[in-house]
Structure 1
Amino acid sequence: MALRQFARQSARSLGLRSDVSLAPALATRGMSTVIEGLKYMASHEWAKVDGDTVTVGITDHAQAELGDVVYVELPEVGSQVSAKSTFGVVESVKAASDVYSPISGEVVAVNEDLADSPGKVNEGAYTDGWMMKVKMTDPKELDALMDAKAYEASCDH
């Protein structure tokens, strides 16, 4: 039941029809979820491409490994980010971890809600826990990212 609700919520936030089953699109690794159609970095960031804008966050696997997130530092709107470079920090009760940008471009939005509610990263890494939106400058950089199957395999090692 909870997985079905998660699938519907994920579908809506990703701009998919929520009346279509996401069961084939969701692969569950223990307590972690990987979503088909997103791009992934080995450092556990995800990217959702919508035209020339990319929404970025950390994966469900990353938030599970970090534990309860207590602080998120994000870039300023208007700043430039570079692929594979740090754009922020996520702090949990266990550790602090740098967060890396999957693509280069201008930050056009940040998730302001995370300042007061950093736990949204734990509650919905792919939904309310998104971190920034970037207007990408080089779409070819997306080719260096993994699909869901490759990311899932990388987590198994």
Structure 2
Amino acid sequence: MHDITILPTELIRLLKTDLTRLDATRLQELVIGVDYEIAMLKKAKAQIDTALIKRYGEQAQAALAATGRDFGTAHITDGCVAIKAELPKRVRWDQEKLAEIARRITATGDNVADFIDVKLSVSESRYTAWPPALREQFAPARTVEAGKPTFTLTIADKETAQ
């Protein structure tokens, strides 16, 4: 096992170079180091966000309520610091209930698309399990594209590395 430490100044220097020319071991260390730093920064960000909610959440809600709103942007101050608090609205729809409403709309002869955004999809596991005749019917509606590639680098045992 290697000690992996990548200091911010070293990282900046490395990112200005052609990373494809790095030794594979060094490239692996860089991947692990950056992944570690990202994980730490995500944890730190989550803790800071939680502290901001605890410290300013009620004030922001009160500021919005004073304007007759439950959601939106509120501006509050804490000493000489101006805080812009954004309290977004999140709407979720019960899919089963929407499907029932869609059936009722269709039964009345109206166009469902006039009322509901409909996105159709087919799970890939279902599609590949279908018999060929059924797959042929759906094939013209299916597009396959490459996703973003990922690479995992590990140090090989000395015996397998040769």
How would you bin the TM-score normalised by the shorter chain? under 0.3
> Which entry has the higher C-alpha Rg, 1 or 2?
2
Q: RCO greater where, 1 or 2, for CA within 8 Å and sep 6 or more? A: 1
Which structure has more helix as a fraction of its residues? 2
Which structure has more strand as a fraction of its residues? 1
Q: TM-score scaled to structure 2, two decimals?
A: 0.20
